[in-house]
Each structure stands twice: as C-alpha cells, then as structure tokens.
C-alpha cells in the first residue's frame, strides 16, 4: 500500500488534473456568455478582461427583437422536431424488424445501411442539390426534413434495434398467444417499454438536426427559411463587428442543446457500457 | 453485433395466408427506411460518382457531357488538392492525437470515484453538446485579439511578439480549428473509453494487486489489452469522421487565408457551394473516399492482429 504522503500527492495531482479539464471545457462557454453580457461601449476597453465591470442584457433583447433570430429559431425548431419525429418513426419500425425477424436480404440491408455511415456525406451534396432542384424542394424546410431524416435513419435504426434487443421477446409472444396481432402487441406491450429508448433517439436526432450546417447552407437560400446555423453564419458575416449581439445569439443557440444534454448525459456511459458488455 | 434469433411463428401453424404474412411482414416494417435511404443516399451516391466523369458546373451550363478521366487529371495537377491533402493529414492527426490522449486521461480520472464526480462528468462532457458551428464561432472569437484572450496570453508567454489572430496567419491558421476540434472531441473519447473501462471486471485488478502488481503493471497488463479492440475501432471511426468534418474549418477560416487551411472535405464543400462545380467536387470526394477506405482496411487488419495477440 502507498504511504500517506505519496497518496496525498497523487490525490492532489488528480484533483489538479480534473480542475484543468473542467476549466478547459467550460472556459469557451464562459467567454461566450461573458462577451454577451458586456455592454457594447466596454467591449474594446475590457473585451479581454476575465470579468466585466458591469453587465447588461441589452444584447439579448436586441438579438431577440431586432434581428431575424426568432425566425431562425422557429425554422430550426420545425426542422429538428420534424426530423426527430420522422426519423424515430421510420427507425423504430426498421429497428423492430431487425430485432425480431430473420428474413431474406437482412444482411444486405444491414450492409447498405452501414455503407451510408462510411462514405463522406459531402460526396452527395451536389447530387442532392440537383435532385432537390428537380423536385422543387430547394429552399424549403420540407426538403431539409426529408434529407436529414434519411441521413439519420441508419444510426437511429441501429440504436432502436439495440433497445428492442433488450426487451424479452416472450412479452409480445405472450400477447400474441392471447389473441393480439403482432402490431397490437407492439403497440400495447413493447412500445411502452421502449419509451426511454425512444426519448434518447429523439434527443440524439434533434441535436444532430439542430447542429447541421453544410447541407442547410447548400439547400436553403432565402432569409425566412434559414435554420439556426445558417442564420447565425449569415449574421456573423453581415455584422462581423457586433460582438455582443453575435455572442448573445450564440448563447441563446446553446440553450436547447444544453438542456437536452443535461437530461441525457447520465445515461450515455451506462448505455455504452451495456453495449460494450453485449458486443 | 448481436443478432436476435428468429421468432418462429408457432411451428406447424403453416396456413398459406399466415405464411405469406410472415414472409412479408419484416419488409413492411423496413420499407420506409429502405425507400428513404435508397432515394436520398444511395441513388445520389451513384449519381455523385458518375459526376466525377462528367463536366457539370452550374456556372457553365453549356459545357456539360462525359469527359472520361479529365477531372482526375485536373485533380493530379491541382496544387490546392495536394495542399488540402497535406492539411487533411495534419488536421486529422493533430486532432485525433490530442482528442485521444486527453480523452483517455479524462476517462481514467473519471473511472475512480471522488467527491463530486457526477457534476464533474456533466461539466467536462458539455463541449460535446455544443453544436459544431457554434464551437467554431466561439473559438474564432477566442482567437480574435479584440475580444478574445488567447492572443494576449500567447503574447504574454512570448510565443507571439504582439497579440495577433492566428487564424489570419497562413502558417499557423490550421491550429485554430484543430484546437477547437480537440475541445469538441475530448468528451467523445472520454465517454467511449470510460464505458469500456467500466466493463473491465473489477476482480482482475484485485487479483493483480494481491499478486503484488504495481499500478503501472495493472494498467499495461489489464487495462490496455482490454481497451485495445475498442480503441482500434473508435480511432478508426473517429479518423474517418474527423477527416470528413469540414464545419469547423469552414466556419473558422473558410479555407483561408490564401487557401492555406483547406482540408479535402472543406475544399469539396467550397467547390460545390461557392463555385457550383459539381463534377470536380465529386472527383475530390472520390479521392477522399478511396483514401479513407484504404485507411479503414489497414486499421481492420491491425485490429485482427491485436485481437489475436490477446
């Protein structure tokens, strides 16, 4: 056993390392909020101070009421919620099929889904643009929802399959012996049990759609259809010196992701550990 | 991957209609996913590959048609492509190296209980929740000498003569997005490796400690061999993902100054989005795909040896 002194030295080092990690993780976020609440007139004099001498919420009110922020926010909400909903719906059905059935072509379909996860998505940005132009779905939130849903279905399917694999199949067999059709058994017995899994999938897809930038830049061009990343990017290139407002907009954009993250982060490691044991 | 065993439909119940239903049913559940993936991903993928052998630029609509390997000859002679290739290498290696080792360190720290671990874990994983575009903007601001502290720190410790924006310096600009990517990616490795660490049976360490093994010996003889397969797969997937990850570079430098920070994927995006040269964008994409496939096969071969070695 280590002696008491070396134990406490090691312990101090461990705590020092942990504090460094926490500072590194939080500092950029702190800085974002700090500039956002620094009054404009002080930015050039105290922009680089660690702590502002006074603070203001003016930047937040001007972002909310004088810019298109709320439009971008609304568009991103529509696209992310739509994508999360449709992806989860499609992926639940597919994940259920993978989990409960053995059928011809299963291996091929799984392989095709894996391929979609391997190639650079940017590879299809040009064809998607042309196809969307042909379907008149350019510059439309519907088009964006369709594209994002397809991008996210393979991953969400594997996720949902994992959740279904964790539910004993005797449960729906018992229900089917009691006279339910498979779909009824799925709806009444299995569905309530997968609610946590569904929530996790919805959350993951929501954040993925909320963060997507490049396809949105390519497919959307009018101001009133821009999603948050595109809007913020445009905002930054247009008003490149209005630091306070940009950072206030950034801070506001962070809120939905952070809320979601705080809700799920406890389950992340647990879920992955379970997966590692199984695999 | 675990596969579920088939749920047999009650043997001997084989009425024809039921049997047909049984055969068709999985496809009913799968068809929306298949149709969507085929139409939005697989068809465009094939179309995209065909673009590389054509001339398709929305800015020159009259010069379209099949051109054979002309785009690939152009690629070979394109100095920016070779520059972007070198940058892709440094971008991926630099980001991956620090993400991995800092992530491993964090996972090892979090694997042992201490007061406040739950809170610390939530805080250090937070960067992962920040959307990539926002991480990029945030770090671009931190590197800006007017509102960001980093240039002043660099000047204070003597790395810079005076506070400058490294993103405006062609020699150093790539480090800006790399630092942002490290910040953004440490939690991913920490989460995956922490999960792998927690699945190592505790009794192994106890047995080793009873047998008089030092902490370092348990680490190299138990932890590392157990983590190795996870590490190989995670590093492979991460490499591919980082090489394809153009958002941070596009947001922070736009490939500039003077095209010094383009990696292949940001070059693909600029070619498609700014120049609307779809043919050349697809050619670049194929080059990247071939490189990544070669890399993935190399790693999978190495993993086979690793797993055999245990």
CB nearest to B272's CB, from A35, A126, A164: A126
B146 Cβ neighbours under 8 A, 6+ residues apart = A43, A44, A47, A243
Which residues span the domain enclosing B125? 70-309
Q: Please tell me which residue of chain B has the smallest CA distance to A51.
A: B149
Cβ–Cβ contact A31 with B under 8 A: yes
Q: What is the DSSP letter of A54?
A: S
Residue B132: CA count within 13 A, CB half-sphere? 20
Mark yes or no for CB contact B146/A43 under 8 Å. Answer: yes
Residue B5's pLDDT is: 44
Residue B116's pLDDT is: 85
Share of chain B above pLDDT 90, in %: 32
Residues B124 and B163 in one domain: yes
Mark yes or no for CB contact A28/B149 under 8 Å. Answer: no
Cα(B221)–Cα(B196) distance, integer angstroms: 15
B33 Cβ neighbours under 8 A, 6+ residues apart = A90, A91, A93, A94, A113, A153, A157
Cα(B176)–Cα(B133) distance, integer angstroms: 14
Mark yes or no for CB contact B152/A97 under 8 Å. Answer: no
Which residue would you say has higher pLDDT here, B308 or B175? Answer: B175
Residues B161 and B232 in one domain: yes
Residues B138 and B31 in one domain: no
Handedness of CA A268, A273, A276, A278 (dihedral sign): negative
CB nearest to B141's CB, from A94, A165, A247: A247
CB B171 within 8 A of CB B201: no
Q: Please tell me which residue of chain A has the smallest CA distance to B144.
A: A48
Q: Is residue B230 part of a domain?
A: yes
Q: Is residue B251 part of a domain?
A: yes
Cα(B164)–Cα(B155) distance, integer angstroms: 8
CB B278 within 8 A of CB A130: yes
Cβ–Cβ contact A259 with B under 8 A: no
Residue with tokens 């993250």: A261
CB B7 within 8 A of CB A101: yes
Cα(A259)–Cα(A249) distance, integer angstroms: 16
Q: Is residue B37 part of a domain?
A: yes
Residues B249 and B284 in one domain: yes
When pLDDT is averaged across residues B277-283 and rounded to a whole number, the result is 90
Cβ–Cβ contact A23 with B under 8 A: no
Q: How confident is the model at residue B105 (pLDDT cuts 50, 70, 90)?
A: very high
92-151 in A: which are within 8 Å (CB) of B?
93-94, 96-103, 106, 109, 112-113, 115-116, 118-131, 146-147, 149-151
Residue B112's pLDDT is: 86
Residue with tokens 């947001």: B251
CB B246 within 8 A of CB B273: no
Q: What is the 3-state secondary structure (H, E, C) of A144-209?
A: HHHHHHHHHHHHHHHHHHHHHHCCCCHHHHHHHHCCCCHHHHHHHHHHHHHHHHHHHHHHHHHHHH
Q: How confident is the model at residue B11 (pLDDT cuts 50, 70, 90)?
A: very low
Cβ–Cβ contact B216 with A under 8 A: no
Cβ–Cβ contact A6 with B under 8 A: no
CATH number of A69-240: 1.10.3720.10
CB nearest to A153's CB, from B37, B138, B247: B37
Mark yes or no for CB contact A214/B139 under 8 Å. Answer: no
Give the helix ranges, DSSP H, for B42-78: 43-51, 70-77
CB nearest to A276's CB, from B4, B124, B195: B195
Cα(B239)–Cα(A198) distance, integer angstroms: 29
pLDDT along chain A (279 residues), means of 10: 59 91 94 86 74 81 85 92 95 92 88 83 89 92 95 91 85 84 84 82 86 91 89 78 82 82 68 47
Q: Which residues of chain B have a CB within 8 Å of the CB of A261?
A: 125-126, 128-129
Cβ–Cβ contact B184 with A under 8 A: no
Residue A139's pLDDT is: 93
Residues B75 and B58 in one domain: no
CB nearest to A22's CB, from B26, B120, B145: B120
What total number of domains does chain B contain? Answer: 2
When pLDDT is averaged across residues B222-250 and rounded to a whole number, the result is 87
Q: Please tell me which residue of chain A has the smallest CA distance to B9.
A: A173
CB nearest to A211's CB, from B132, B187, B194: B132
Read off the pTM. 0.85
Q: How far is CA B144 from CA B100, B165, B171, in A?
A: 27, 5, 16
Q: Which residues of chain A have a CB within 8 Å of the CB of B273?
A: 125, 214, 217-218
CATH number of the domain to which B261 belongs: 1.10.3720.10
Handedness of CA B12, B17, B18, B22 (dihedral sign): positive
Q: Is residue B151 part of a domain?
A: yes
Residues B150 and B216 in one domain: yes
Mark yes or no for CB contact B123/A22 under 8 Å. Answer: yes
Q: Is residue B30 part of a domain?
A: yes
Residue with tokens 């095209």: B259
Mark yes or no for CB contact B48/A276 under 8 Å. Answer: no
CA distance A67 to chain B (A): 18
Residue A277's pLDDT is: 39
Residue A273's pLDDT is: 55
- Out of A61-75, A119-133, B17-31, B258-272, pick the least confident: B17-31
CB nearest to B273's CB, from A48, A218, A258: A218
Residue A266's pLDDT is: 66
Q: Is residue B3 part of a domain?
A: no
Q: Is residue B4 part of a domain?
A: no
A107 Cβ neighbours under 8 A, 6+ residues apart = none
Q: Which residues of chain B have a CB within 8 Å of the CB of A279?
A: 1-2
Cα(B153)–Cα(B141) distance, integer angstroms: 14
Residues B141 and B182 in one domain: yes
Residue A223's pLDDT is: 86
Which residue would you say has higher pLDDT here, B184 or B55? Answer: B184
B66, B92, B127: which is the final residue of a domain? Answer: B66
Which residue pairs from A49-58 have beta carbons closer than 8 angstroms and sit at least 24 positions apart in sequence?
A: A50/B149, A58/A244
Nearest to B219 by CA among B234, B197, B243: B197
Phi, psi of B178 (to 5 degrees): -65, -45
Residues B133 and B22 in one domain: no
């Amino acid at each position: 056993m280590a002696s008491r002194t070396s134990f406490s030295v090691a312990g101090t080092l461990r705590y020092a390392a942990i504090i460094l990690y926490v500072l590194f993780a939080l500092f950029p976020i702190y800085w974002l909020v700090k500039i956002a609440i620094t009054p404009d007139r002080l930015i050039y004099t105290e922009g680089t101070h660690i702590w502002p001498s006074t603070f203001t919420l003016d930047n937040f009110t001007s972002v909310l009421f004088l810019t298109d922020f709320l439009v971008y926010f609304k568009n991103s909400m529509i696209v992310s919620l739509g994508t999360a909903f449709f992806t989860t719906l499609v992926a639940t059905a597919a994940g259920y099929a993978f989990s409960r059935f053995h059928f011809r072509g299963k291996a091929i379909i799984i392989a095709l889904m894996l391929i979609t996860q391997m190639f650079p998505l940017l590879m299809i940005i040009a064809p998607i643009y042309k196809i969307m132009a042909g379907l008149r779905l350019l510059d439309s939130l519907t088009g964006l929802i369709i594209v994002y849903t397809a991008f996210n279905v393979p991953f969400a399917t594997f996720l949902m399959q994992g959740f279904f694999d964790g539910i004993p199949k005797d449960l729906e067999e018992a229900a089917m012996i009691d006279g339910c059709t498979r779909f009824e058994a799925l709806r009444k017995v299995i569905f309530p049990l997968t609610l946590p899994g569904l929530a996790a999938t919805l959350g993951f897809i929501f954040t993925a759609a909320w963060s997507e930038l490049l396809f949105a830049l390519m497919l959307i061009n009018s101001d009133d259809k821009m999603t948050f990343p595109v809007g913020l990017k445009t905002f930054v290139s247009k008003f490149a010196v209005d630091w306070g407002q940009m950072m206030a907009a950034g801070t506001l954009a962070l809120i939905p992701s952070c809320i979601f993250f705080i809700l799920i982060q406890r389950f992340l490691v647990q879920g992955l550990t379970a997966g590692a044991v199984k695999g | 991957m675990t596969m579920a065993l088939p749920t047999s439909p009650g043997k001997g119940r084989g009425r024809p209609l039921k049997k047909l239903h049984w055969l068709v049913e999985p496809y009913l559940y799968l068809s929306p996913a298949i149709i969507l993936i085929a139409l939005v991903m697989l068809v465009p993928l094939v179309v995209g590959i065909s673009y590389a052998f054509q001339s398709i630029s929305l800015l020159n609509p009259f010069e379209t048609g099949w051109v054979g390997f002309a785009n690939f000859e152009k690629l070979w002679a394109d100095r920016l492509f070779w520059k972007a290739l070198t940058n892709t290498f440094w971008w991926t290696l630099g980001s991956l190296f620090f993400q991995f080792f800092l992530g491993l360190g964090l996972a090892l720290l979090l694997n042992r209980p201490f007061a406040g671990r739950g809170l610390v874990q939530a805080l250090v994983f937070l960067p992962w929740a920040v959307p990539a575009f926002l991480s990029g903007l945030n770090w671009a601001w931190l590197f800006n000498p007017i509102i960001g502290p980093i240039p002043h720190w660099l000047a204070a410790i003597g790395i810079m003569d005076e506070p400058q924006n490294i993103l405006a310096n062609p020699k150093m600009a790539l480090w800006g997005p790399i630092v942002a990517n490290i910040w953004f990616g440490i939690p991913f490795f920490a989460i995956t490796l922490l999960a792998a660490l927690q699945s190592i049976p505790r009794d192994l360490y106890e047995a080793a400690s009873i047998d008089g093994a030092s902490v370092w010996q348990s680490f190299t003889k138990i932890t590392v061999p157990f983590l190795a397969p996870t590490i190989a797969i995670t590093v492979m997937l991460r490499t591919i993902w980082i090489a394809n990850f153009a958002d941070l570079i596009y947001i922070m430098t736009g490939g500039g100054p003077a095209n010094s920070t383009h990696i292949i994927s940001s070059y693909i995006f600029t070619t498609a989005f700014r120049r609307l040269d779809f043919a050349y964008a697809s050619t670049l994409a194929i080059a990247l795909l071939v490189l990544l496939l070669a890399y993935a096969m190399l790693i999978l071969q190495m993993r086979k040896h690793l797993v055999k070695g245990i």
